[in-house]
Amino acid sequence: MATVSIDRDTLVVEIEGLDKLWALKSRLAIPLANVRGATADPGMIRQPKGIRAPGAHIPNVITAGTFHLDGEKVFWDVRDAEKAIVVELADERYARLVIQVDDPRTTVDLIERSVRR
């Protein structure tokens, strides 16, 4: 699972617990200027992931790490699809972040409000 916060003009994603090990990341910092938006999307877990490099994918257990699909990099950290959000990015290493958060609706609202500022 991940915790999302806003620090001035930066979206900060902190990867929690053992997910750090599976995702091979503990923190992502993205300028808000490069965040296009966020949506709650539990169905995203059923989409093709692409080639895992590096990361972990055990169906119905965890999807974590960097995945390459159609020329794009996507960062995943999801165990419970019902709590998944998708953060769309521009001009970043990743085209999108697919992460599990404690409260998807509140997190999406936080990101959307911050991007509109």
Model pLDDT for residues 66-117, shown as the tens digit of each residue: 999 999 999 999 999 999 999 999 999 999 999 999 999 999 999 999 998 8
Q: What percent of the chain has pLDDT over 70?
A: 100
The Cα 5–Cα 26 span in angstroms is 14
- Mean pLDDT (the chain) is 95
Ordered by where they begin, the domains of the chain are: 2-116 (2.30.29)
41 exposed, middle or buried (CB, 10 Å; 0-12, 13-18, 19+)?
middle
The pTM (predicted TM-score) of the whole model is 0.94
Token code pair at residue 27: 């923190």
The Cα 86–Cα 84 span in angstroms is 7
Q: DSSP label at 94?
A: -
pLDDT at 74: 97
Asked if residue 32 has pLDDT above 90, the reply is yes
What is the amino acid identity at position 24?
L
> Which secondary structure element, helix H or strand E, spans residue 36, and what is its range?
strand 35-40
